[in-house]
Amino acid sequence: MKPMTSAATPKGVRRRSRLIEAAGALLLEGGFDAVRHRAVADRAELPLASTTYYFGSLEDLMAQAADYVCRCDEAAITARGAALRRRRRGARAMADALAEVFVGPDASVHDLAVRYEMFALAPRYALLNAVIADHHALLAGVHTDVLQKSGRLADPVHVRCLIAVEDGAVMGALGQHPTEPINAAREALVSVVDVLAPPN
């Protein structure tokens, strides 16, 4: 990420935060195609030049928008994981818990599409890739916590496999209306969770 030397004053910090929030809102509404300098400036009600003053490039602005969206997503996921009761869970209950925490019972198809657009584009942009790598690292940690609270082993390699199963199920469901992504994740997980995260 670009250092905040150009936003060191309180006013600068506030303006930069407004621009990031505006970019994140545009990303959620219209995907990365909606994150453009003029659109962000208009949404933030700031001069167009402010977007180039506070961000080194369009890629920087896109990465900051993705970081904002990821932080919001992570806060919701972390809260759901923390609220999960500590108890031993069988395969079906474990699959249900993972889907509830990591897909989310209220996640819209649109919001999930934005999430996976970020993942798909990450390899093309170094700054975005760093954001998504940090996001996946945090998700792996929350997976570990959820599995351990459920009396399950949480080997790091197998946790990454579980995340891949979840992601694949959700992405597949996004193109198969009326399949609900959370239900697709449940069904994909129930067949593999005892192998990848056996009871301890």
Query: Is 90 exceeded by the pLDDT of residue 4?
Result: no
What angle do helix axes 126-149 and 156-174 make, rounded to 10 degrees?
110
Q: What's the average model confidence in pLDDT over 109-115?
A: 92
Query: Is 80 exceeded by the pLDDT of residue 125?
Result: yes
Place of tokens 């934005």: 114
Distance CA 170, CA 156 (A): 21
Query: Is 50 exceeded by the pLDDT of residue 5?
Result: no
Let me know: does 163 contact 144? Beta carbons within 8 Å: no
Distance CA 166, CA 102 (A): 8
pLDDT at residue 7 in the model: 58
pLDDT tens-digit map of 152-169: 999 999 999 999 999 999
Which two tokens mark 44?
């933030």
Q: Return phi, psi of residue 113, to 5°.
A: -60, -40
pLDDT at residue 115 in the model: 93
Let me know: does 126 contact 150? Beta carbons within 8 Å: no
Q: Is the dihedral of CA 11, 49, 42, 76 positive or negative?
A: negative
Average confidence score pLDDT of the chain: 93
The CA-to-CA distance between both ends of the chain, in Å, stands at 40
The pTM (predicted TM-score) of the whole model is 0.88
